[in-house]
Structure 1
């Protein structure tokens, strides 16, 4: 998936992300700005997930 498509999907998924992971604030999601490493890091910080678990969780939301 190229970077432009991924960032477009990020914007589409931001609402779903707030629903699924209520501890993520709108500001945090906006700050991540489609940068998946920042998302994975925030998931590790707030939910105690490993990077692999965060990747899997995001891909499940995306499917």
Structure 2
């Protein structure tokens, strides 16, 4: 799944992101609104990880994405 697909379906995938990054608040997830950079920034802030680590986590999540997330 591409990030464009994730962004387009963010309302359906927001729960999966919340499950993956439980320290993100509901407001964080809403404010991300499918923006990859914003998601990375929130992960970096909440988890105290480097920018590179946050980006790697997002990439890993994207790489593991599958169409069943949408159902």
In the superposition, the TM-score normalised over structure 2's length comes to 0.66
Higher relative contact order (CA 8 A, sep 6+): 2
For the residue of structure 2 that corresponds to 1:24, the secondary structure is coil
**Misfit runs of 4+, over 4 Å:** none
Structure 2 residue 48 is matched with structure 1 residue 45 = no
**Whole-angstrom distance in 1 between the partners of 2:43 and 2:49:** 6
Structure-1 residue corresponding to 2:69:
none
Equivalent in the alignment of 1:56: 56
Q: Structure 2 regions of 5+ residues with no counterpart?
A: 65-71
Q: CA deviation at 1:45?
A: 0.9
- Structure 1 alignment gaps of length 5 or more: none
Paired residue total: 62
TM-score (norm: length of structure 1): 0.72
CA RMSD, Structure 1 to Structure 2 (Å):
2.1
- Work out the CA distance in 1 between the residues paired with 2:3 and 2:45: 27
- The match for 2:15 is 15
> Does the aligned pair in 1 maintain the 2:6–2:13 contact within 8 Å?
no
